Structure 1
């Protein structure tokens, strides 16, 4: 989610003038503040005050008139929990913070920097930050040939060795062993998908669109397509999300089938479309749009979420909150496996959400089994997957895509197979265990001495076998067998779907 700027070498995210996100401490959110979904969908009036005290005084002093809503809606519907306002949120929503995030709009944006500093000192404030624009694909030093120009329309019949990426990570063998389960659903938070694409229509679940951008507040960007109307049609107008979806869930008519097998795919459009140099389209979205879309996606009970976007830590001030903090905590608390692209800067740096604890950060390798030059490095990177010249779906036909954005879906697909396998054996698995299994079974790069690119290349088949060994070992330990009796237990021959 780096911002877009001249030369695409930006290091500062664009703030949305006059908009901030305020998280209050537990028990401090008043009942009268309406949810954003109620305001947009049902015409509910935004609140014009918060606490009637110090927060309101600061907002009026630095920002003049203001309006406020709760960013997220409760997981439980009103008919399930007939109580007003904030009390509809459950304990997980309250403790992780998603129930306590307020979206505030002030009339005078000039006072926002001082307002942020002042609010951060208020005892009942947990965290506060300016809302900002984010975009995908990532920008960086390699953006000229890896960032914006990350996809080229191709004829799949003329592509040499289209299966190389799948074979490199043993995905075909893994799918023969564990074909995936339709009850395991992958969430894709991106630019949406081409809903009528012949490779995708059979795998797609009902998705939605959380993009709500104002052309006057995007710093001169030229927005195109649908950027003001949230709804239930996550139609892609960029191609980025469609490319990720093809890697996950393609039927396999003209390109390799999706790595998630029989698992479902729920797309959410969190990034709209804007024009870059040469009228090249890229995805752009606001931080609050992305987090709101993620919250709803989690509440739809997806098991894995792929996030091919990110904000560089270098674009944030030292004391600024890290983006997506509450929504990442919430997803992990719900048992969701989170996978994110590490970034395309080619530097040793941290992008968020990939750098958050509990998120599986993925770098990119090429056919030589070496990390790609553009792949962002760092101690938080778990492992790598193919991310150069990947044959996948495009808006109109097919594309050859490059970037960590397209490496991440390979790992998300393997995580979906791990979750399906665990479900088949009645065993719980979360993001932390999935990461452990992946790094334990990662294969080494073709050249030794690589640093900052994780533990190696993902190996789908080895990961499934390792999960079976873990389950067998834990079951044997629970039955009273001594550890040395179970060390060499073979993978359980669990039945697989026909």
Structure 2
């Protein structure tokens, strides 16, 4: 993927996202248009700046955005454990109880693991949902899946692979995956990735796609660069933005994003979970980052949603007694 750096954000070079209403307005700067699953990607003529064109279309009242590059966490910015480390097997036996709650997991995919048999959801996955086996973030989705099923026993995961083995994807891919979830929306959605936008404002097509899932609780990571700048989609209204605490669960992890747009926090340091089986790993790893704090919060909401609507469960849990300024309510790890 050809990437263009714009300040502290990254976009796909020569691409703008729109809905159909903006296609004709951008025709003179466009070489080709690809439309699928609710979003149009404009492939621009050489020399046209996607950020300038997106801003111009917005000034006309149209929905447009450069195709932002979305990055999985934590490896892009690093942290105390900027890569996974081998861990011994973790004692976990899937229970026989089943929940009606479905958690959508958009990530690098999910690999085969001893924790999945009997759940049904893994057998339904196709080859396109398998976890990446190569790259700096291969196994990221598998790690998160383990945190989710341990925190919310009996839930089913609906997996969509939107990131490659290096944890990179783009806004168009995520918007299309969200569009395909409209027919059978999950109760909870785990989004352990994000981006800075070129103008620090909310990406409108991504906001629209999440807004079209009104009964789904979207939970997203606050990023790992230690900044209070909004990180999207976490900072979108209605999305539960999650920061990471250190291993004591008392203080912000130094790498964690923070600010008044953050809603919740959970331990992100040195968590252990399911991972790939190969090389120095035997199916288990220790890893750190807001990605994994996000899974703990999403799992807690999914577990509570077994007995009440997910939106109500989220509101109740986010009104918890222990709050930390710029980090929101504390969710105990409970693994």
TM tier, shorter chain?
0.7 to 0.9
CA contact (8 A) 1:236 1:395 kept: no
RMSD: 3.1
Q: Are positions 1:455 and 2:329 aligned together?
A: yes
Match of 2:189 in 1: 305
Query: Residues 342-491 of structure 1 correspond to what in structure 2 (within 5 A)?
Result: 342-370=222-250, 371-396=252-277, 397-422=283-308, 429-431=309-311, 433-443=312-322, 450-458=324-332
Q: 2:16 aligns with which of 16, 20, 27?
A: 20
**Corresponding residue of 1:134:** 70
CA positional deviation for 1:320: 7.0
Confirm or deny: 8 A CA contact 1:341 1:404 kept in the other structure. yes
- The Cα offsets for residues 34-92 of structure 1, whole Å up to 9 and x where unpaired, read as xxxxxxxxxxxxxxxx55xxx2xx422x34x32242x31xxxxxxxxxxxxxxxxxxxx
Is residue 2:86 matched to residue 1:153? yes
* Displacement after TM superposition at 1:319 (Å): 6.1
Aligned to 1:268: 160
Measured against aligned partners, the alpha-carbon deviations of 1:205-248 in whole angstroms (never above 9, x if no partner) come to 4346xxxxxxxxxxxxxxxxxxxxxx744333311111100111
What's the counterpart of residue 211 of structure 2?
329
> Offset of 1:309 from its aligned partner?
0.7
Distance 2:188 2:32 in 1: 37
> How much has 1:131 moved relative to structure 2?
0.9
Give, in whole Å, the separation in 1 of the partners of 2:156 and 2:34. Answer: 36
Give runs of aligned pairs for residues 168-179 of structure 1, distance below 5 A. Answer: none
Task: From 183, 192, 198, give the equivalent of 1:316.
Answer: 198
- Asked whether the 8 Å contact 2:192–2:221 carries over to 1, the reply is yes
Distance 1:114 1:308, change over 3 A: closer
Query: Unaligned 5+ residue runs, structure 1?
Result: 30-49, 73-98, 164-174, 209-230, 250-257, 274-281, 423-428, 445-449, 461-498
- Give SS of 1:324's match: helix
- In 2 relative to 1, CA 121–354 (structure 1 residues): closer, same or farther, beyond 3 Å? closer
User: Could you say if the C-alpha distance between residues 180 and 325 of structure 1 is closer, same or farther in structure 2, counting changes exceeding 3 Å?
Assistant: farther
Q: Is the aligned partner of 1:189 residue 2:106?
A: yes
Q: Which residue of 2 aligns with 1:67?
A: 33
Name the CA shift for 1:417/1:336 in 2 (closer, same or farther; >3 Å). Answer: same
Distance 2:328 2:9 in 1: 27
Please give the TM-score of this superposition, normalised by the length of structure 1. 0.58
Which protein, 1 or 2, shows the higher relative CO under an 8 Å CA cutoff with sep ≥ 6? 2
Comparing both structures, which one devotes a greater share of its residues to helix?
1
| Residue number in structure 1 paired with 2:174 | 290
Task: Report the structure, 1 or 2, having the larger strand content.
Answer: 2
Find the aligned partners of 1:407 and 1:342 in 2 and give their Cα distance.
10
2:33–2:40 CA contact under 8 A, matched in 1: no
> CA-to-partner distance for each residue in 1:84-110, whole Å, 9 max, x for gaps?
xxxxxxxxxxxxxxx5x3222234253
Whole-angstrom distance in 2 between the partners of 1:119 and 1:291: 19
Quick check: 1:21–1:130 contact (8 Å CA) kept in 2?
A: yes
How many pairs were matched up? 320
Which structure is larger by alpha-carbon Rg, 1 or 2? 1
| 1:105 match: secondary structure | strand
Name the SS of the counterpart of 2:265 in structure 1. Answer: strand
Q: Distance in 2 between matches of 1:111 and 1:297?
A: 32
SS at match of 2:175: helix
Partner of 2:53: 115
